[in-house]
Amino acid sequence: MQNAKDSFYITLRNRLATVNPNRTMTLRGITRPGILVEDAEAPMPQMLLDAFTLRWTKLETDTQLPSILAQIACEIHYATAGTQGNMELDRGRALEEMDDELLQILCPSSTPKYNYTTTPATQMGTMIFWSQALFSTTTITRERLERVATVNVFAFQEQGEA
């Protein structure tokens, strides 16, 4: 599943850089598109504001097919406190902007699967695809507006893949 998870993340990261090049974050002194995979980063006391955090959760497999079909749930967490220039009174609009960006980067809902352990990355023989996002209700924590969108990512296991 790691190749599918990596392919999903890299696809969303690259699409976000196109959809909103200003949605960036700085981690460990490096500025990059504002999306990260939670289990690939050092633990943080609180999720970053104005960035998307991918959290991989439930894994299921269908072994009744000629190739094993894996399904893994991905929770996409994001939050905003608005902008300082607007005295943080625009946090509702800022959250809606992130909702829209997420919808844009999730379409189309498929991409080729790559092995990113090689340089350059090697395209594999199958595609990954995912469901429409299910959006939670907005959660308010002090000045933060937060939301979680859940997407199910599907991938066939290929020969030699663990």
156: left (phi over 0), alpha (psi -120 to 50) or beta: beta
Q: What is the pLDDT of residue 116?
A: 96
Q: What is the pLDDT of residue 88?
A: 60
Q: Is residue 68 part of a domain?
A: yes
Q: Is residue 51 part of a domain?
A: yes
Q: Is residue 161 part of a domain?
A: no
Query: Please, where are the H alpha helices in the chain?
Result: 2-19, 91-105
3 — phi, psi (to 5°)? -65, -40
CATH, residue 47: 3.30.2000.30
* pLDDT averaged per 10 residues, the chain (length 162): 97 98 94 96 90 97 90 98 68 94 98 96 96 96 94 93 74
Q: What is the pLDDT of residue 118?
A: 92
Q: What is the pLDDT of residue 66?
A: 87
Q: Which residue from 108, 103, 81 is spatially nearest to 94, judged by alpha carbons? A: 81
Q: What is the pLDDT of residue 87?
A: 53
Angle between helices 91-105 and 2-19 (to 10 degrees): 120
Q: What is the pLDDT of residue 65?
A: 85
What domain range is 84 assigned to? 1-156
Q: Is residue 98 part of a domain?
A: yes
Centre a 10 Å sphere on the Cβ of residue 114 and count the other Cβ atoms it contains. 19
Q: Residue 60: beta bridge partners?
A: 71
CB 96 within 8 A of CB 82: no
Tokens of 39: 């289990």
> Cα–Cα distance between 115 and 132 in angstroms, integer?
24
Q: Is residue 27 part of a domain?
A: yes
Domain count, the chain: 1
Q: Tokens 């594999």 sit at which residue?
A: 124
Q: What DSSP assignment string belongs to 15-29?
A: HHHHH-TT-EEEETT
Q: Is 97 exposed, middle or buried (0-12, 13-18, 19+ CB in 10 A)?
A: middle
Q: Is residue 162 part of a domain?
A: no
